[in-house]
């Protein structure tokens, strides 16, 4: 743990931190002085990312966020090895895209269980500790698609819109306990998730973004750092679009 930086002393849990946006979030929180625990389905990948973060004491662990018991176990392990989680970033997410008529029930269920139930599992598991400490921060990574909808992504959009309602409910329920809960709605960010869009699709997408470019994982990570820190101490229940102006 670093003893400088606005997040020094915080124990941050970043789900889906093994790559993409989650990895950039883990890095920016570590740079701000937090002790970061990276979890992902692949424990080796999570450990590798944690080991490369600046500062000491970071951990990587395997955890499927859709498995409630696995989440409880990992949160307990973090408390033993690093201290109770004081900052939670729900970043883990998947897509199983298809047009509605072709979308299988499994595609619907898988996306809901990771993107929406996963957040319920993690928030539930860390809340008791945060209430005891009378402080804590939760940041949920939703999507502009949850605000606008998107053809071919009914399951994903519904899960991300669900996260918005979840964020606001948790914020209302826990504000008096010193716990803040906000969401970030990224636009199109250059990661593995968006890698197979193809050049044509990327060009037309770029044309629909007022700022004229796709986002980078660091564009999201900087906003997570802001929402996690003392500058955002009076902000709760908000959904911040970080999308180059797509939604306004
Ligand atoms: P990615 O596919 O590159 O990374 C997803 C991460 O989540 C991986 O580390 C993966 O291991 C982890 N993960 C998946 N299922 C998991 C599970 N059951 N338990 C634990 N970890 C699991 O995705 P990317 O692009 O970095 O996205 C991160 C978040 O940002 C997701 O929630 C995504 O929906 C959201 N987002 C991404 C956008 C983009 O344009 N890339 C736009 C808007 C939102």
**If residue 182 lies in a helix (H) or strand (E), which one and from where to where?**
strand 179-186
C-alpha 140 to ligand 1 mean position (Å): 12
Q: Which residues contact 102 (CB under 8 A, 6 or more apart)?
A: none
| Ligand 1 neighbours (beta carbon < 6 A) | 15-16, 18-22, 40-41, 63-66, 91-94, 114, 141, 143, 186, 188-189, 191-194
Nearest protein Cα to ligand 1, atom 41 = 189
CA distance 236 to 179: 9
Mutate to test the pocket of ligand 1, among 44, 92, 113 (most ligand atoms within 8 A of CB): 92
**If residue 185 lies in a helix (H) or strand (E), which one and from where to where?**
strand 179-186
Predicted local distance difference test score (pLDDT) of residue 2: 44
Digitized pLDDT (tens) for each residue of the chain, 248 residues in all: 445 799 999 999 999 999 999 999 999 999 999 999 999 999 999 999 999 999 999 999 999 999 999 999 999 999 999 999 999 999 999 999 999 999 999 999 999 999 999 999 999 999 999 999 999 999 999 999 999 999 999 999 999 999 999 999 999 999 999 999 999 999 999 998 888 777 778 888 899 999 999 999 999 999 999 999 999 999 999 999 999 999 99
What would the DSSP string read from start to end of 100-154?
A: GGG--HHHHHHHIIIIIIHHHHHHHHHHHHHHHHT-EEEEEE--HHHHH--TT-H
Nearest protein Cα to ligand 1, atom 9 = 16
Nearest protein Cα to ligand 1, atom 31 = 93
Instruction: Look up 120 and say whether it is catalytic.
Output: no
Active-site choice (120, 156, 188, 234): 156
Pairing of strands 179-186, 239-242: parallel
Nearest protein Cα to ligand 1, atom 32 = 93
């Amino acid at each position: 743990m670093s003893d400088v930086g606005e997040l020094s002393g915080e124990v941050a849990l970043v789900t889906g931190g093994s790559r993409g946006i989650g990895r950039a979030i883990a890095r920016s929180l570590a740079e701000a002085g937090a002790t970061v625990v990276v979890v992902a389905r692949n424990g080796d990948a999570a450990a590798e990312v944690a080991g490369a973060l600046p500062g000491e004491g970071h951990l990587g662990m395997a955890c499927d966020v859709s498995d409630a018991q696995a989440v409880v176990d990992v949160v307990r392990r973090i408390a033993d090895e690093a201290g109770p989680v004081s900052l939670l970033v729900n970043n883990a997410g998947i897509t199983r895209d298809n047009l509605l008529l072709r979308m299988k029930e499994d595609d619907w269920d898988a996306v809901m269980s990771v993107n929406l139930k996963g957040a319920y599992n993690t928030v539930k598991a860390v809340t008791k500790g945060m209430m005891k400490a009378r402080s804590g921060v939760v940041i949920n990574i939703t999507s502009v698609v949850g605000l606008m909808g998107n053809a071919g992504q009914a399951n994903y959009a519904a899960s991300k819109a669900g996260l918005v309602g979840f964020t606001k409910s948790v914020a209302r329920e826990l504000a008096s306990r010193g716990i803040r809960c906000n969401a970030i709605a990224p636009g199109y960010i250059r990661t593995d998730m968006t890698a197979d869009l193809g050049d044509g699709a990327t060009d037309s997408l770029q044309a629909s973004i007022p700022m004229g470019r796709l986002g980078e994982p660091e564009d999201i990570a900087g906003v997570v750092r802001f929402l996690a820190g003392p500058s955002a101490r009076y902000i709760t229940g908000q959904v911040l679009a970080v999308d180059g102006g797509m939604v306004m």
